[in-house]
Amino acid sequence: MQQRLRALMAATPSDTPPTMPNSMWQLVRRILTEYMQSQRILIEWGSAIVVATILIRDSTNTHTMMATWSLYTILVALYTTSVLADIAEQPFQMQRLLAIQSRQAYISAYLIAANAVVISSYIIVVAVSFLTAPLARPTLEILGASLPSLLVLSSIVTAVMLMLTPLVANTQQRIVVLLLITIPLSWNIIGPAIQHIIGPEYTTIIAAFTTIWGVLLWPSLHLYTITITPQIDRMMVVVILFHLIILSVIIFQIIRWFNKKSLTIA
């Protein structure tokens, strides 16, 4: 009996800590695995089923269905990115940064993982919508044409949300980014309020800013529009390429800020 116990103890692996990922793609797999094991992903996947079964159920309008998909994808991108950013900021998780020895790979892994969760949620909401609202479902050609713009749009939302988290930016940087986003979007309210305060003699200046913000917002509004009513033409390609450049700039800035960030590693 003692010999048998010794044999069993010898065959039992020692309580060693799990191996740390040593590359970006290994870290992505580990992040997604832990996100599913913790059941956090049930929020995204569950909400996809709820949207398809309650908001889209029995719909007969294709554009309404696709608009709901786009808005849902944007909201999921905001939520998932904020959750993963909080996880990435935990001191224990920071030990993985020491393992891969690259801040760029670390922050990129969480950005890729967030996009993977968003895409999986989009697939679920589309699949369930096809069952709950068969009269409104778009053709595969229309769905395929909308995918490039939707992927670019969700990637930009994910990147901007990551830029707004304490993991990447300090308070001053987040305020600047928020102002750059909110002022153009709310200028129809801010502009008249400013004009009312400073007087009608500055109407020309207010109108000039209105034109500037309109020009700056048009590509993003058009990108959202072609996710709902896709038209494969030269303008669609130009808008997507323009936003890919913006996405590259945002990711570059995220990496730059994260490289300068003071981090606490347990």
> Lowest-pLDDT range, 29-38, 193-202, 241-250?
193-202
Identify which has the larger pLDDT, 23 or 84: 84
Position 9 in a domain: no
Position 10 in a domain: no
pLDDT per residue over 13-31, tens digit each? 333 344 577 788 989 999 9
| Cα-based distances in Å from 92 to 21, 27, 79, 80 | 14, 14, 22, 20
Position 14 in a domain: no
pLDDT per residue over 172-196, tens digit each? 999 988 888 887 777 777 777 776 6
**Model-level pTM greater than 0.85?**
no
**What is the C-alpha radius of gyration for the chain, rounded to an integer number of angstroms?**
23
Q: Is the pLDDT of residue 230 over 90?
A: no
Range of the domain at 215: 21-260
Position 71 in a domain: yes
Position 16 in a domain: no
HEC profile of 131-158? HHCCCCCCCHHHHHHHHHHHHHHHHHHH
Position 255 in a domain: yes
Position 194 in a domain: yes
Position 15 in a domain: no
Sign of CA dihedral 176, 178, 181, 182: negative
Instruction: Give the total number of structural domains in the chain.
Output: 1
Three-state SS at 26: helix
